[in-house]
Amino acid sequence: MTTKGRRMLTLPPPISPTERQTSNKGASQPSKHKHEIPGHEDLDLDEQPPKKKPTKSSAVTKTKHAAMDSEDELERVPAPSTPKKLASAVEGKGKVVKSTTKFKIEEEEKVLETPNVLKVKSLPAECEVTNVDLQDPALAEAGVYDLLPPLHKVVATSWSSAQGPGNILLSTWDQYNKVLNVDSTWSFINFVQKGVYVNLSRIDPRKLEGIAQKYSTDKARNVGTAAVCLSLMMAVKFSVSTPSTVMDSQKGLKLKFLTAIAHSQEFEQMIAVLGMVFHQCNLHFQISADAITFGTKTMPANVGSSKMVSKLTNGVKSTSTRVGGSRNTASADVLSYEDEVPVFHGRYKVVDFDTDVENIGKHSTGRLRA
């Protein structure tokens, strides 16, 4: 997938109880001076009708009672986290409390905003990607699609015009794989989220954040935790142990890759979630004949072509040197062609993704080699 600049999917950072208490405490502090509340510059909170000058002892007593009444008044005002209850609770108490609370909430939201963080704040009233013709009969009968969040339509643009057989349905897997474990497959396709692992075909996009990384900006502005996105697909071609060519190329560029065919309705959901999180209505993918390719960065065409190689025939390889090319922090979130891609053979193991996804490697029967 390519969009303008570098994009990374993350989960929002949790808010600690200490920060929440500090935030609520700050929102409830009354103003100690005149004219500090926006919209009430002409209001004098200290102005009182002229009264007879009290004695020193009575003045101290009245001050203490006034302070106690003020504290009791604040305790009856709900926290800023429930604005609807707040509006009804302070009705009739004057506009001073309302304005103070509203200003504090807006100030906190402004502090939490980060320029390169993209969020989904709302969902459409009706889903624009649900299509009964694309839904698997078994999943539809189980009511799986009725539980999915409504999404906006996002277009997946392919660089190739080659036509294929179309996407796959879960109910037709037995035609291609006779040893497929049905329980593991059902668990995988209906998995939603656990920790950093998310299923883009099932998750609500409001639970994710997009990090827009442009090459000219500071990469230290990332927030949140990177999400590991999972998708159940049918692999048709792959080379994950050694770099290989995806297709015939005059430049001979190589990379490690996995080409697979996605499920029909699940692919529509995945594209919609990605587009909504990154605020894009059109995404570009390497799709050819209905198969999508996920790959590492390409191997430069001139690797291994140095003239110095012919002058030395019996050298000793260094154990601490690796080819880095022009790799930098701007593309550090993309695997290089020389990075190891772990793939596990789990066809004969029953895996419950809701409980085992974080330890999926322990359930494999061995490394799958290309």
C-alpha Rg value of the chain to the nearest Å: 30
Q: Is residue 137 a part of any domain in this protein?
A: yes
Q: Is residue 210 a part of any domain in this protein?
A: yes
Q: Is residue 242 a part of any domain in this protein?
A: yes
Tens of pLDDT, residues 8-25:
676 766 665 555 555 554
Beta carbons of 139 and 145 less than 8 angstroms apart: yes
So what's the pLDDT on residue 51?
A: 52
| Interatomic CA distance for residues 95 and 147, integer angstroms | 43
Q: Are strands 233-244 and 255-262 parallel, antiparallel or unpaired?
A: antiparallel
Question: What are residue 37's phi and psi, to 5 degrees?
Answer: -95, 120
Q: Chain-wide mean pLDDT for the chain?
A: 68
Q: Is residue 126 a part of any domain in this protein?
A: yes
Tens of pLDDT, residues 128-169:
999 999 999 999 999 999 999 999 999 988 888 888 888 999
Confidence of residue 293 (pLDDT cuts 50, 70, 90): confident
In 3D, which of 35, 51, 29 has the Cα closest to residue 97? 29
* Among 54-63, 174-183, 193-202, 340-349, the range of highest mean pLDDT: 193-202
* Among 182-186, 216-220, 248-252, 302-306, the range of highest mean pLDDT: 182-186
Q: Is residue 106 a part of any domain in this protein?
A: no
Number of structural domains, the chain?
A: 1
Tens of pLDDT, residues 78-129:
433 333 333 333 333 333 333 333 333 333 333 345 667 888 999 999 999 9
Beta carbons of 229 and 23 less than 8 angstroms apart: no
Tokens representing 94? 């004057």
| Mean pLDDT along residues 174-184 | 83
Whether residue 196 is predicted with pLDDT greater than 70 in this model: the reply is: yes
Which domain, by its residues, includes 149?
Answer: 6-10+118-303+330-363
Q: Which helix (H) or strand (E) holds 285?
A: strand 282-285
Q: What's the Cα-to-Cα distance from 269 to each of 64, 150, 183, 335, rounded to whole Å?
A: 62, 9, 22, 25
Confidence of residue 248 (pLDDT cuts 50, 70, 90): low
Please tell me whether the overall predicted TM-score, pTM, comes out greater than 0.85 for this model. no
Task: Tell me what percent of the residues of the chain surpass a pLDDT of 70.
Answer: 51
Task: Tell me what percent of the residues of the chain surpass a pLDDT of 90.
Answer: 20
Confidence of residue 223 (pLDDT cuts 50, 70, 90): low
Q: Is residue 112 a part of any domain in this protein?
A: no
Q: Is residue 23 a part of any domain in this protein?
A: no
Q: Is residue 296 a part of any domain in this protein?
A: yes
| Interatomic CA distance for residues 182 and 154, integer angstroms | 31
